[in-house]
Amino acid sequence: MGKKEKSLTRDSQDHGCYNYKMFNFFNRKFKINEVEPPDDVRAAFAEYAGDGSHMSADQLRRFLAEQQGDVDCTVSDAERIIEQVVHRRHPVTRYARHGLSIDDFFHFLFYDDLNSPITTKVHQDMTAPLSHYFIYTGHNSYLTGNQLSSDCSEVPIVKALERGVRVIELDLWPSSTKDEILVLHGRTLTTPVSLIKCLKSIKEYAFASSPYPVIITLEDHLTADLQAKVAEMVTQTFEDMLYYPESECLAEFPSPESLKNRIIISTKPPKEYLEGRGEEAFGMETPDNTAEQESDYRSDSDHEDEDFNECDRKSGQIGSPEYKRLITIHAGKPKGALKDSLQVAVDKVRRLSLSEQELEKAAASHGTHVVSFTQRNIMRIYPKGTRFDSSNYDPIIGWMHGAQMIAFNMQGYGKSLLLMHGMFRANGGCGYVRKPDLLMQKGPQNEVFDPKKAMPVRKTLKVKIYMGDGWRLDFSHTHFDTYSPPDFYTKVYILGVPADNAKKKTKIIEDDWSPVWNEEFVFSLTVPELALIRIEVREYDMSEKDDFGGQTCLPVMELKPGIRSVPLYDKKGEKLKNARLLIRFQHE
């Protein structure tokens, strides 16, 4: 029983006026206060509209350029905004309006599609090598649920691609008859899906949300004959969409721009299993089952080598050359001392995979070596094998060290995945985010960024939370409290390097579907390039856990200055239709 129900019961018993109180509470429940423009919005309107009752297109253009930082905005752009706002707010108006009233102006600021907090288009340089980008990466992309018994399907692959994920992982196993290739999580009870179904779904949806390349990471447990069959399936399915290099090893990765609308393959070259060379030159491992064991259960990523190697030994085959030819990004895991595996070759680039625990150890003992490695090479981090529930880990430690592929269970909802969603809202949501210069630079002595080293404050972010609205349209009137309007408050988190982490909270606004806070918070940031801002709305409950009212996560460096409409998302990262906040962001 929430605080409102308790209050009702107590009042009714004390005063013997149950029916009267019920009537009053239900009246309160359906009372919706009129949303008024905050004082700062009124002041901005007065400053730019002058003495007029309406803001003209040129006045709006000046406001957008001077206060919102939209310096490229033209009068024509402002006219289009006015036209859209008037059409939405006054659809039956018989005459054309060429300006915005104060209420029109306020509503414009609250339209997140017209006044977004971040840029919605690709705006970063996309011509650098792939190693210069954080890449939106999935783990076991075919699983619908947990790691042990859920169904394998093409559906989560499609959902991931539609969200903007650019790296899809498939685990390949032979069927019981050894003549078909299945995708499943090996040594578990997961039900398989055919490889060809997954490949066709990737082809159909690869570029539904982004034109930039899709990378398929394969963990295969196949004989050479089945590898050849995979090569045939891949080439026939993707045809001209498939890219692979002419040379066996790349000296530098191609760029996302050069690979637009292309699909590339990343896996361990099969030749290494029998010949004991190939990737050894890269400092990669030959099979060693003892080093990887963390528990009785290990993910496919943890034991990806042993099955194929055993299969190879029995068959006497050396792996399919057709299969190897299709590999653009050669992959492997550490061999011997980790520091040796992090050596950078001058004439070839590769991908190195580490578990989340291996990354933590590497960060603790060889942090700058990891940063140096990721300047030219790709590092993929995957969840530890004991995450049976498809949960995820903190992605920021990987980003701090330049790791491009932070592999996540996209069905593993939780705060870590919300951070991943936030990071990849950057750069127009295209799935590739240019790594900050500090991770790519070398000093005069070849020194690189040291994540452990304390740095001075380089940016101050001011966040003023004015108000929120829209919950009454997204939730039933009894969702938060049965007998009265909700009591909303907002939490603001900064997540980045440890020195920058912070948390603030507004006061609670009681009994209001459209709460007004008017509170400003100031955050000092040492590495703003790696900082995310997470904003969460909660509804206070005295006797139970506070109710969730929506959240969002955004990269700090992408935040547009000025008064912005910030849409909110549910716990799974799906956008709520109406709930949103009005917030001013200032960078200093």
Q: Which CATH code for domain 39-110?
A: 1.10.238.10
pLDDT of residue 248: 78
pLDDT of residue 325: 94
pLDDT of residue 68: 97
584 within 8 A of 564, measured Cβ to Cβ:
yes
Select which of 139, 330, 366, 369 is catalytic: 139
148 within 8 A of 189, measured Cβ to Cβ:
yes
* Tens of pLDDT, residues 558-579: 999 999 999 999 999 999 999 9
Q: CATH number of 459-587: 2.40.40.20, 3.50.50.60, 2.60.40.3880, 2.60.40.150?
A: 2.60.40.150
CA distance 431 to 458: 27
In the residue annotation, 139 being an active-site residue is answered as yes
Q: CATH number of 130-440: 3.50.50.60, 3.30.2350.10, 3.90.190.10, 3.20.20.190?
A: 3.20.20.190
Tell me if residue 184 falls in helix, strand or coil: coil
pLDDT band at 35 (very low <50, low <70, confident <90, very high): confident
Of 544, 469, 503, which Cα lies nearest the Cα of 1? Answer: 544
CA distance 126 to 135: 12
pLDDT of residue 309: 39
Q: Which residue has the higher pLDDT, 278 or 434?
A: 434
Q: What is the mean pLDDT of the chain?
A: 88
Count of Cβ atoms closer than 10 Å to residue 153 Cβ = 20
| DSSP-assigned letter for residue 571 | T
Find all residues with CB under 8 Å of 556, minimum gap 6, and list them. 459, 461, 494, 496, 525, 528, 531, 532, 533
CA atoms within 13 A on the CB side of 570: 9
Enumerate the domain spans of the chain.
39-110, 130-440, 459-587
Same fold, 39-110 and 459-587: no
Task: Output the six-digit token pair for 131.
Answer: 């190693």
pLDDT of residue 477: 92
Full DSSP string of 502-527: EEEEPPPB-S-SS-EEEEEEEEEES-
Task: Output the six-digit token pair for 420.
Answer: 């991943």
User: What is the average pLDDT across 539-550?
Assistant: 93
In the residue annotation, 132 being an active-site residue is answered as no
Select which of 15, 54, 87, 185 is catalytic: 185
Q: How far is CA 234 from the centre of its chain?
A: 28
pLDDT band at 314 (very low <50, low <70, confident <90, very high): low
pLDDT band at 271 (very low <50, low <70, confident <90, very high): low
DSSP E strands, 259-411 = 263-267, 327-332, 351-355, 378-382, 405-408
